[in-house]
Amino acid sequence: MPTVVKYRVPNISCGHCVMKIEHAVGDLDGVVEVHADLRSKTVEVVFDAPTTEDEIVRTLAEIHYPVAERLN
């Protein structure tokens, strides 16, 4: 069964940010779904192995959207 995580990512400021996050995280092997939300500044990821939560957080940081906190 897939894992679902949701993060607060304060650096989301425009539609381009949303697209960049969804493409970068969505390209990770095992990610089933990514939804970045501009209004709430959140990112929700549904994933299975081999992707790990650490890998998702690291990828967000590498593209300049560091996680402020995990929401679930």
pTM, 2 dp: 0.96
Closest-CA residue to 44 (of 11, 5, 8): 5
Structural domains present in the chain: 13-65 (3.30.70.100)
Per-residue model confidence (pLDDT) at position 50? 97
Query: Residue 29 CB: number of other CB atoms within 10 A?
Result: 10
pLDDT tens sequence across 7-21: 999 999 999 999 999
Average pLDDT, rounded, for the chain: 98
C-alpha separations of 40 from 8, 17, 20, 48, 51 in Å: 8, 13, 17, 25, 25
Pure H helices in 1-72: 15-26, 53-62
Task: Please report which confidence band the pLDDT of residue 2 belongs to, taking 50, 70 and 90 as the band edges.
Answer: very high
